[in-house]
Chains A and B, each alone.
Chain A
């Protein structure tokens, strides 16, 4: 009986030539969707609301205004208070003219008073930035 011949060893390799292409695609995806946080704000606890909905514009079209319970206002890393609130108008107006889609996102503390919130709203009206959004957390019940 003749001796059985050993089967030739198979060399199997995963083709890796297209690996850089795949990674490039992923890279481009993440580069496009990334938007860097431009400004810091104030520590606030936002109220809850049942009708909380997503803002229909992207992060680049949102101007964030923080209001904390001590009456401090922050827009674009600048601190304002009740007396200097009128200084918001030129900045908001510039943002609004540069991008008509601009939405003002009010991140107000739930313990702040309506006086300051209304003051900020009045400045938004003067700056023709009429689309505003009160940042809230989603509430399940009640």
Chain B
């Protein structure tokens, strides 16, 4: 007796709901995606070294800015009467020494703060220094 062949089953995965599933996923990723990028003022710190290295620089190669706890800004040992002057003071000082071959100002700007100086004041000065086009910025350790 010959065995009857079993009936062929046709099995298919239903794909009609596939777009719906993908849409749901898309909506999820749309909602969670944040395109906004981080903004800020960038700075590269010097490498850490034990003990203080002394690099001799000519006095006229550095523009010293000190920010006091009180919010007063001193440029080369002279207190600024008006904060608005700062940008021009930095610009004139940078122009004195001119630019190097790469078009960057030669003069170094050193920003010194005190322990109690407000971060907002520091950011104000750093912003002005950057706006003046200085590329060599030194952040001195604060005075206690």
B114 within 8 A of A: yes
Instruction: State whether B127 touches A30 (Cβ < 8 A).
Output: no
Set B19, B32, B130: member contacting A20, Cβ < 8 A: B19
Q: What is the CA–CA distance of A124 and B46 in the complex, to the nearest angstrom?
A: 10
Interface-facing stretch out of A5-13, A31-39, A72-80:
A31-39
Instruction: State whether A34 touches B33 (Cβ < 8 A).
Output: yes
Interface band, chain B: 35 or more
A62 within 8 A of B: yes
Instruction: State whether A55 touches B39 (Cβ < 8 A).
Output: yes
Q: What is the CA–CA distance of A118 and B43 in the complex, to the nearest angstrom?
A: 13
Instruction: State whether B45 touches A23 (Cβ < 8 A).
Output: no
Instruction: State whether B131 touches A108 (Cβ < 8 A).
Output: no
Interface band, chain A: 35 or more
Q: Given A54-B38, A114-B114 in contact, is the A34-B29 Cβ separation under 8 Å?
A: yes
Set A103, A109, A112, A136: member contacting B41, Cβ < 8 A: A136
Q: How far is the CB of A138 from chain B (nearest CB, A)?
A: 7
Q: What is the CA–CA distance of A39 and B52 in the complex, to the nearest angstrom?
A: 36
Q: Given A27-B25, A49-B123, A54-B38 in contact, is the A125-B46 Cβ separation under 8 Å?
A: yes
Q: What is the CA–CA distance of A34 and B35 in the complex, to the nearest angstrom?
A: 8
Contact with A along B30-74 (1 / 0, CB 8 A): 101111011111111111100000000000000000010000000
Instruction: State whether A111 touches B42 (Cβ < 8 A).
Output: no
Instruction: State whether B41 touches A124 (Cβ < 8 A).
Output: no
Query: Which chain A positions have C-beta within 8 A of B124?
Result: 47, 49
Set B25, B26, B38: member contacting A133, Cβ < 8 A: B38
Task: Please give me the residue from chain A that is nearest to B42 by CB atom.
Answer: A133
Task: Please give me the residue from chain B that is nearest to A108 by CB atom.
Answer: B119
Q: How far is the CB of B47 from chain A (nearest CB, A)?
A: 7
A sample of 28 inter-chain contacts (CB < 8 A) reads A23-B22, A30-B29, A33-B33, A36-B32, A47-B119, A47-B123, A50-B127, A52-B40, A53-B41, A55-B37, A55-B42, A110-B118, A111-B118, A113-B117, A113-B119, A114-B113, A114-B114, A114-B116, A115-B115, A115-B142, A118-B113, A118-B139, A125-B45, A125-B48, A130-B47, A132-B44, A133-B38, A133-B41
List residues of chain A with CB under 8 Å of any chain B CB: 19-20, 23-24, 26-27, 30-31, 33-34, 36-37, 46-55, 59, 62, 103, 105-106, 108-115, 117-118, 121-122, 124-126, 128, 130-139
Please name 13 further chain A to chain B contacts, defined as beta carbons within 8 Å, in addition to the given A30-B33, A125-B47, A133-B38, sorted by A numbering.
A24-B22, A27-B26, A34-B29, A37-B34, A49-B123, A49-B124, A110-B119, A114-B115, A114-B119, A114-B122, A117-B119, A118-B142, A124-B45
